[in-house]
Amino acid sequence: MPIAIHVPRVNNNDDEVKLVAVSIAVGAKVSKGAILAQVETDKAVVEIEAPSDGFVLAVIGSVEDTVTVGNVLIWLGATADEVVPATKDEKSTRGSASVMPTAKARALLAQHGLDAATVPASGDRLSVADVERFLAGHAGDARTPASKQPPATERAPDIDGQLVPLKSEERGMLATVTWHRDVAVPGYVEVSYDPAPWDTYADAFKQENGLLLGPLLPLMAWRLAQLAADKPKLNATIIDGKRFEYAAVNLGFTVQAGDVLYLTVLRNALSNRELEFVNALIELQRRASGHRLTASETQGATIGFSSMARWKVSRHIPILSPQTCIMVAHTMAEDGVGVLGASYDHRVINGSEVAGMLKKLSRPDVGNRSKANYQKDAK
């Protein structure tokens, strides 16, 4: 059966990207992991890889086209003569009874009390643009309750200025902040801790494994992933009044690359051993710094970790990523005391549970190293 390869989401809730390269032709045989195409936003180029061996059956779109996130971009088959499933023209307006909305579109539907089946979709996924078009066309519909009407357009300030279009990553941040404001019920908890045990553990780990870079933050992220696996409520969100606990821990880790803030994602984080995890996260940071992340490395976070210690920020209250319930913030106070905080979705978890998690995170899990050796190192 043919495999559909969809247009990936590069930044949170960014509904369109530009197709900048197609590396294969229809009929070509490709191997799993081969680069098939590239899409870009204003700052990042993301490679689309083949999920399996196969033959290219169809490429939907041309270089320089603007393509919609979630639409089928490439069809891949086990043989070159497989038939591509019949689909409607993705540019045409169609009913959405069987179309899955994107996360941002789902939130907008809920905000306005709309059923996805009543909103025409322009692609394989019902996008926020589809919902906004529907709302604009029904703004004066008497059947729509006043409380469900779309918000009025913001009035420009009575001061001279100009409107500047947002860049792709800025639109993504706007969408993330909007989800955090309109959907989650955010809280924040913060604890201070002695950084010496973590520093000692990280230094010993670096020496034992011959690492060139300090592994402190990756090691703390590894510990967070373990805690999330031990307490599934940390690795969850709310869907239709029920807690949705993710099957795997996809660790989101923020990386500042110039003026672009990425939330890189290490999927199924605990399929790695501690050293493998550290090396994988360091490699993600390197790729992000060069704006060379793949689609799977920029989406699907189920829990997050962020640090602003390098900027000597004394307090850091991060924004929750869509459909996550916790984002841990790490920094250092001016007196050298470590600070761990967490923004969390109070619909999923309460403050005492978050505080308990932060207390556990404030000390390393020495793993296979004996307590005696660890205490010796600490001296």
- Residue span(s) of the chain under CATH 2.40.50.100 come to 3-77
For residue 94, name the pLDDT band (cuts at 50, 70, 90): very low
Give pLDDT tens digits for 191-230: 999 999 999 999 999 999 999 989 999 999 999 999 999 9
CB 302 within 8 A of CB 318: no
CATH code that applies to domain 185-378:
3.30.559.10
CA distance 185 to 163: 31
Q: Stretch 34-60: mean pLDDT, rounded?
A: 87
User: What percentage of the chain's residues is helix, strand, coil (to nearest 5)?
Assistant: 30, 25, 45
User: What is the rounded radius of gyration, in angstroms, for the C-alpha atoms of the chain?
Assistant: 23
pLDDT for 89: 45
For the segment 50-70, the average pLDDT, to the nearest whole number, is 88
Q: Which of 13-27, 228-242, 274-288, 289-303 has the lowest mean pLDDT?
A: 13-27
Residue intervals in the chain for CATH 3.30.559.10? 185-378
- How high is the pLDDT of residue 87? 57
- The answer to whether 20 and 73 have CB atoms below 8 angstroms apart is no
**C-alpha–C-alpha distance, residues 370 and 366, integer Å:** 7
Average pLDDT over residues 110-116: 74
Give me the mean pLDDT over the 293-302 stretch: 88
Q: What is the mean pLDDT of residues 86-90?
A: 52
Q: What confidence score (pLDDT) does residue 108 get? A: 80
User: At which residue do the structure tokens 């993504």 appear?
Assistant: 172
Output the pLDDT for position 137: 64
- Residue 64 neighbours by CB distance under 10 Å: 9
Mean pLDDT of 180-195: 95
The residue type of 15 is D
Cα–Cα distance list, 6 to 97, 169, 368 (Å) = 20, 20, 42
The b-or-e profile of 216-239 (16+ CB within 10 A means b, else e) is bbbbbbbbbbbbbeeeebbbbbbe
8 pLDDT more than 80: yes
Q: What DSSP string runs through 5-71?
A: EEPPP-STT--EEEEEEE---TT-EE-TT-EEEEEE-SS-EEEEE-SSSEEEEEE-S-TT-EEETTS
Hey, is 208 helix, strand or coil?
Answer: helix
Q: Please give the pLDDT value at position 158.
A: 85
Q: Which residue has the higher pLDDT, 148 or 39?
A: 39
Topology at the third CATH level for domain 3-77: OB fold (Dihydrolipoamide Acetyltransferase, E2P) (2.40.50)
User: Kind and range of the H or E element at 296?
Assistant: none
Name the residue type at position 328. V
> How far, in Å, CA of 264 to CA of 44, rounded?
12
* pLDDT of 71 higher than 90: no
Give the confidence band of 374 by pLDDT, cuts at 50, 70, 90: very low
- The per-residue pLDDT for range 241-263, each reduced to its tens digit, is 899 999 999 999 999 999 889 99
Judged against a pLDDT cut of 60, whether residue 150 lies above it is answered with no
Q: Are 299 and 46 in contact (CB under 8 A)?
A: no
Please name the residue that has the structure tokens 């799977």: 296
State what percent of residues in the chain have pLDDT above 90.
Answer: 52
Please state, as a whole number, how many other Cβ atoms lie within 10 Å of the Cβ of residue 180.
Answer: 20
pLDDT at 97 > cutoff 50: no
Q: Is the pLDDT of residue 116 over 80?
A: no
Name the percent of the chain lying above pLDDT 70. Answer: 85
Token pair belonging to 368 = 């296979």
Mean confidence (pLDDT) of the chain: 84
Residue 295 above 90 pLDDT?
Answer: no
* Amino acid (1-letter code) at residue 16: E
Average of pLDDT values for 3-25? 82
Average pLDDT over residues 300-311: 95
Residue 198 confidence (pLDDT): 97
Match 């591509």 to its residue by tokens. Answer: 84
